[in-house]
Amino acid sequence: QKEVEQNSGPLSVPEGAIASLNCTYSDRGSQSFFWYRQYSGKSPELIMSIYSNGDKEDGRFTAQLNKASQYVSLLIRDSQPSDSATYLCAATFDSNYQLIWGAGTKLIIKP
């Protein structure tokens, strides 16, 4: 069964520090990986996508993918209180756009 796993948290990080979110997946055939941010009562919004091993940076966000170890992570530098949200990791296992979701990690940035 294809699964994506995340620690539910909450993960508490002081403002200005680096927040590190991790995700593992079960299927080595996974092709694409995504990090979504979801505020309470809102739908998810895409933060980062990553397809190849290594790092991908976009502003304060860096996604890291290690296919050999089957994990993907998201680093948030200079964390802000507005980054407080639930972060959902998702992966696709085939080409039909269907996303397999992790349970999400609740991130709390403390001022």
Residue ranges binding another protein (CB under 8 A): 31-32, 34, 41-46, 49, 88, 92, 95-99, 101-104
Q: What would the two tokens of residue 81 be?
A: 């209180």
Angle 9-90-69 from CA coordinates, rounded to 5°: 80
Contact 62, 56 (CB under 8 A): yes
Q: How far is the CB of 16 from another protein (least distance, A)?
A: 28
Q: How far is the CB of 57 from another protein (least distance, A)?
A: 16
Nearer to another protein, 73 or 92 (CB): 92
Nearer to another protein, 97 or 111 (CB): 97
Nearer to another protein, 69 or 95 (CB): 95
Q: How far is the CB of 78 from another protein (least distance, A)?
A: 24
Question: What whole-number distance in Å separates Cα of residue 98 and Cα of residue 104?
Answer: 17
Nearer to another protein, 15 or 94 (CB): 94
Question: What whole-number distance in Å separates Cα of residue 33 and Cα of residue 51?
Answer: 6
Sign of the CA dihedral with 78 first, then 58, 63, and 44 last: positive
Q: How far is the CB of 66 from another protein (least distance, A)?
A: 19
